[in-house]
Chain A
Amino acid sequence: MAEEILELRKLERRDNDMELTYEDGTSFVVTYDDLRHACPCAKCSPLRNEDEMSMQLRRTVEAYPKQKPMVQTVGNYAISFEWATGCSSGIYRFERIWDLAHRNDPDRGRPYVHGAW
């Protein structure tokens, strides 16, 4: 991930999605469904390795009642979301949020391998 990303300045939580505003004033909308489907935690990530399971994960997150999450910065590199239902473990690096905002695959096409070697 050598590509430079801009600094996220504002995150506005709305009913079904969040609006992200970067330092240059550009803003993007990411739905909570997209966000949750891209959860980087060790439980959710492997589910995106195969299309079938990934679709199942998608249906699972879409079925959750729509609710605004609690949002917290993690150090200076990431944000975390706490949801009333479902998984809240993922720590989203700002690069990941940037990818979601720009509709890039946040996994960069790489399958998740536990332990990664």
Chain B
Amino acid sequence: MSDSPVSMHTPGNEPTDEAPNAADPAQQKQMEQAYAQMKRKMSMAEIGRKIKHKIMVLSGKGGVGKSTVSTGLAVALAQQGHKVGILDIDITGPNVPKMMGLDGRKLHVEGGRIHPAQGHLGVKVISMAFLLEDEDTPVVWRGPIKLGAIQQFIGDVEWGELDYLIIDFPPGTSDEPLTVAQSLPDIDGMVIVTTPQDVALLDSRKSISFASSLKVPVLGVVENMSGYTIHGKGTPGSTVEIAAPAGRTLSAVCDEEGKFNITLDIFKEGGGRSTAEEFGVPFLGALPFDPGFVRGGDDGVHRIVSEPDGASAIAFAKVVSSVQSQLAQGSGSSLEII
């Protein structure tokens, strides 16, 4: 980068061991590392300015639907005409590319910068998956190497101007969110995804406490896979009974056309809302259990794209608007604390 205040080294131009007056190679190496670090810090600050909103998506437990929610948020925001990016930081199971129809892409590096791939509706995607030789061999980096890679992913990506950057994490309260929160300035907040079962909720509570230790605000809790609605037909006016989980019997009356629908709470109902209330954080909405999410994830066409007027898309729209109203409310900065 020619506008860099330090002009001693352009990556790839100068073999390190031929630099004049290098006191010793170790020292030289240290200086270079410090320089790279500084350059990265500067570009992170610039990225911070160019991206209006940065949202982290986390969960305590794995498999609750973070990546589904991340990609859904991204696509829904792009549908509204926003410029959107997704950063998939999951090293062991990065599945955002698949969900965004970008399976098998490799990292695109040009002029020393990493360029995102573009998925549906122009959503820009950067994923740890782009580093993998093949999908079935996950990267097993640990500790500092992993965190260094994440920093590099944040600092060296050429996002351009974005209205929203959604960051999808691996499950749990690990080092990744901490690294991101420390590297990327002005994160608007985190969305916590949970399913309505005790174990997932317990873990979400951990995520909420974790959020406050990261000093990143919680935008709210999304309850995923909350209920599965079955639709069917019977004799008009007759009552249909269904054996539901936990030994309960659910019933519905068929309407004049014989149609009925019943919502089964596969896990339990309302846990996301009560967890949100317990911790005094906003509840952003519930997404139904919908096998279409699984199909969409597998063939790279998100549910809200394949069925834009379906129940899931409508539920998603509610979540998106709750997130936006959280962002719009400003940062509480009008409060003077003396």
A17 to B219 alpha-carbon distance, docked (Å) = 29
What is the CB-to-nearest-CB distance from B145 to chain A, in angstroms, rounded to a whole number? 33
A73 and B189 contacting across the interface, CB-CB below 8 Å: no
Contacting pair B326 A117 (CB below 8 A): no
CB nearest neighbor in A for B209 = A89
Q: Given the known inter-chain contacts A8-B335, A89-B209, A91-B279, please indicate yes or no for A76 contacting B198, CB distance below 8 A.
A: no
Q: Which residue of B lies closest to A40 (CB)?
A: B280
Which of A10, A77, A91, A117 contacts B212, CB < 8 Å? A91
Given contacts A10-B338, A13-B337, A75-B189, contact A92 B280 (CB under 8 A): yes
Question: What residues of B have a CB within 8 angstroms of the CB of A13 in the complex?
Answer: 337-338
A11 near B332: Cβ-Cβ < 8 Å: no
In the assembled complex, A103 has its CB within 8 A of some CB on chain B: no
Q: How many A-B residue pairs have CB under 8 A?
A: 84
Interface residues of B in 181-219 (CB under 8 A from A): 189, 198, 201-202, 205, 209, 212, 215, 217-219
Select from chain A the residue with minimum beta-carbon distance to B201: A115
Whole-angstrom distance from the CB of A88 to the nearest CB of chain B?
9
Contact A75 B332 (CB under 8 A): yes
| Chain B residues numbered 130-163 whose CB sits less than 8 Å from any CB in chain A | none
Residues of A within 8 A of B (CB-CB), count: 29
Q: Are A117 and B189 in contact (CB under 8 A)?
A: no
Chain B residues within an 8 Å CB radius of A51? none
| Complex CA–CA separation, A94 to B330 (angstroms) | 14
Q: Is the CB of B330 within 8 A of A76?
A: yes
Q: Is A42 a contact partner of B205 (Cβ separation < 8 A)?
A: yes
List residues of chain A with CB within 8 A of the CB of B329. 76-77
Determine chain A's interface SS by DSSP, over half rule. strand
Whether A10 pairs with B336 at a CB distance below 8 angstroms is: yes
The docked-state distance in angstroms from the alpha carbon of A89 to that of B277 is 15
Quick check: A116 and B278 within 8 Å, CB to CB? yes
Q: Is A91 a contact partner of B331 (Cβ separation < 8 A)?
A: no
User: From B196, which residue of chain A is reached at the shortest CB distance?
Assistant: A117
Q: Is the CB of A76 within 8 A of B279?
A: no
Question: Cβ of B279: which chain A residues have Cβ within 8 Å of it?
Answer: 40, 42, 91
| Minimum C-beta distance from A38 to chain B (A) | 11
Which of A11, A42, A76 is within 8 Å of B338, CB to CB? A11
CB–CB B274/A9 < 8 A? no
Contact B330 A77 (CB under 8 A): no
Chain B residues lying within 8 Å of A10, measured Cβ to Cβ, are 335-338
| A80 interfacial by beta-carbon distance below 8 Å | yes
Task: Assess whether A7 is interfacial by the CB under 8 Å rule.
Answer: yes
A13 and B330 CA atoms in complex are apart in Å by 23
Q: Which residues of A contact B332 (CB under 8 A)?
A: 73-77, 79
A/B interface sample: 18 pairs, CB < 8 A: A7-B334, A12-B338, A42-B278, A42-B279, A73-B331, A75-B189, A75-B217, A76-B217, A76-B330, A77-B217, A77-B280, A77-B332, A79-B332, A79-B335, A80-B212, A91-B280, A91-B281, A117-B271
A residues whose Cβ falls under 8 Å from a Cβ of B:
7-13, 40, 42, 45, 71-80, 89, 91-93, 96, 112, 115-117
- Which 9 pairs across A and B sit closest by C-beta, in order of nearness? A75-B217, A116-B274, A73-B332, A76-B329, A93-B280, A12-B338, A76-B332, A10-B336, A71-B337
